[in-house]
Structure 1
Amino acid sequence: MGTPDTIQVFVPLKIRKKNGRPKILPPADYLPSEDQTQDPHILRAIGRAWGWRRRMEAGEFGTVLDLAIAVNLAERHVSRQLRLAYLAPDVLKRLVYKREVTAVTLMEITECAALPWRDQAEVVFGEAVQVG
């Protein structure tokens, strides 16, 4: 008889019901790694920006001020967040689909939307882009 081909790993999880559904809780001493998680505010802001962009393109709002009044936010905040809808497609793909961790804050991502698409990934993810 040789050594077994499988390994058993036991993780102490608890199952609790929340709203009638089972929910798996991690161990009490579990601390998620801060540097390996994407900020959920980034995804929320991108989704909101795309929603606002669609509404403006559909003619629901003529100006950013009209949109800001409708969503009850400051015009400056709305115009800054709206820039997220114009990020480079490869940056959006990495943020939304691959959920890659950014090297900058949400505010810095909105500022980098004004950069050329080829430069945005370097700013957002802190890496040089391979071209060609």
Structure 2
Amino acid sequence: MSVAPTTIRVIIPLAIRKRNGRPKIVPPSDMAPETGGVDPHILKAIAKAWSWRRKLESGAVATMSDIAEAEGVTPPYVGRMLKLAYLAPAVLEKLLIARIAPTVSVKDLALAADLPWAEQARAVFADKENGID
């Protein structure tokens, strides 16, 4: 008569990748939702920015301070992240539809929103457009 082992060993291959300058453990691609290389934090930040923009435009909230209080963040953070709702359509298309990863952090992506639309793609995807990956 054989006895079943009491310990089960599960092996999941993980990789360590740098995201926004920090090491991050990422699961295999078949286990993680497909973001096409775009950091999920960037996608979430863009979605949040558009939600905040709609709330401001509809009158659901009166100020960025109202949003900050409701979200538990600071008004300067809301102001910085709200800029993501004003990225150029070409940049949003590359991020959200083509799923091309930016070469900058979320913070730098928000700063790029201050640039003219014609310059934003070059600032956000600089290395990708020059063939450097």
**TM-score, with structure 2 as normaliser:** 0.69
What corresponds to 2:38 in structure 1? 38
Structure 2 SS opposite 1:84: helix
Consecutive unaligned residues in structure 1, runs of 5 or more = 1-26
What corresponds to 1:72 in structure 2? 72
| Per-residue Cα deviation, 1:63-106 (whole angstroms, up to 9, x for no partner) | 11111112221101111000000000010011011110111111
Larger gyration radius, structure 1 or structure 2: 1
Matched, 1:103 2:103: yes
Distance 1:101 1:122 in 2: 13
| Per-residue Cα deviation, 1:30-82 (whole angstroms, up to 9, x for no partner) | 64876982211000000000000001100011111111112221101111000
**Identity in percent:** 39
Structure 1 SS opposite 2:120: helix
Q: Which stretch has the larger CA shift, 88-97 or 66-75?
A: 66-75
Structure 2 SS opposite 1:69: helix
The Cα shift of 1:29 comes to 4.0
Distance 2:74 2:54 in 1: 19
Q: Comparing both chains, which one has the higher relative contact order based on Cα–Cα distances under 8 Å and sequence gaps of 6 or more?
A: 2
What corresponds to 2:81 in structure 1? 81
The Cα shift of 1:28 comes to 3.8
Query: Aligned-residue CA RMSD in angstroms?
Result: 2.3
Consecutive unaligned residues in structure 2, runs of 5 or more = 1-10, 20-35
**TM-score, with structure 1 as normaliser:** 0.69
Aligned length: 103
What corresponds to 1:113 in structure 2? 113
CA 1:69–1:98: 2 relative to 1, 3 Å: same
Letter in 2 for 1:109: L
Distance 2:12 2:70 in 1: 43
Distance 2:70 2:57 in 1: 15
